[in-house]
């Protein structure tokens, strides 16, 4: 059974639906999204956005609306359509600003492989080796920062030793303990890369 009939749903029903139980909430959120989805097409013309970018920004705006309703930040001084339109428009303008300024060039990085396409093969191979060597050196430096036990375990694991063999060599109770410890070490290592 369809919770909502075809056509538009009044604001008060949307508000109560979003604040309702999980089944009604999900259906209401979907209806809210669908009811004003035509704004996506409008944004492609008005702001010269791709349909994918406009749809992504629209989805973000819907999530903001839902959050505002749940946290009682939406006061009802305007209609949901007006409120959504304003948030969506602001998101579109912010997106345009980000993509049209030099700041965005920082985020538009080119992959090394793309840059190496124009380089002769021999030079490309040398550059690739230097990059790989640098990455290995950075990894070794980071591994030294995670502690002796982790360092020893990671080195053994990278050499292809099984968890069972590492458990015997390092004096752990079982392969399961080694696996858990190794995962913790990997988390420490990942944190150093952030």
| pLDDT of 6 | 58
| Closest among 42, 34, 23 to 59, alpha carbons compared | 34
Q: What is the DSSP letter of 50?
A: -
pLDDT at 108 over 70: no
What average pLDDT does this structure show over 118-143? 69
Question: Do residues 178 and 172 make contact, with C-beta atoms less than 8 angstroms apart?
Answer: yes
Residues 29-39 have pLDDT tens digits of 888 888 999 99
Higher per-residue pLDDT: 116 or 68: 68
Q: Which residues contact 32 (CB under 8 A, 6 or more apart)?
A: 9, 14, 18, 62, 65, 66, 80
Confidence label for 1 from pLDDT (cuts 50, 70 and 90): very low
Phi, psi of 43 (to 5 degrees): -65, -30
- DSSP for 63-89, please give it: HHHHHHHHTT---SSS-HHHHHHHHHH
Where do the domains of the chain lie? 11-105, 130-193
Question: Do residues 157 and 189 make contact, with C-beta atoms less than 8 angstroms apart?
Answer: no
Question: For the whole prediction, is pTM greater than 0.75?
Answer: no
What is the Cα–Cα distance from 24 to 4, expressed in whole angstroms?
10
What is the Cα–Cα distance from 164 to 167, expressed in whole angstroms?
5
Higher per-residue pLDDT: 105 or 143: 143
What is the Cα–Cα distance from 41 to 186, expressed in whole angstroms?
45
What average pLDDT does this structure show over 54-62? 90
* Residue owning tokens 């029903």: 13
What is the Cα–Cα distance from 24 to 9, expressed in whole angstroms?
13
Higher per-residue pLDDT: 31 or 100: 31
Among 49-53, 123-127, 130-134, the least confident range: 123-127
């Amino acid at each position: 059974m369809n919770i909502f009939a075809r056509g538009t749903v009044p604001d008060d029903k949307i508000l109560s639906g979003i604040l309702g139980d999980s089944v009604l909430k999900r259906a209401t959120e979907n209806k809210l999204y669908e009811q004003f989805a035509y704004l996506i097409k409008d944004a492609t013309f008005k702001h010269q956005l791709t349909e994918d970018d406009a749809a992504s920004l629209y989805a973000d705006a819907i999530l903001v609306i839902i959050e505002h309703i749940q946290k009682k930040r939406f006061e009802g001084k305007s209609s949901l359509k007006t409120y959504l339109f304003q948030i969506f428009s602001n998101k579109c303008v912010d997106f345009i600003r980000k993509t049209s300024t030099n700041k965005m060039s920082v985020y538009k990085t080119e992959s090394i492989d793309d840059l190496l396409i124009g380089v002769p093969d021999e030079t490309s191979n040398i550059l690739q080796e230097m990059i790989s060597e640098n990455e290995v050196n950075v990894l070794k430096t980071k591994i030294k920062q995670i502690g002796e036990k982790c360092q020893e375990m990671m080195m053994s694991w990278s050499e292809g030793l099984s968890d069972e063999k590492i458990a015997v060599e390092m004096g752990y109770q079982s392969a399961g303990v080694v696996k858990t410890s190794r995962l913790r070490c990997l988390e420490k290592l990942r944190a150093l890369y952030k």
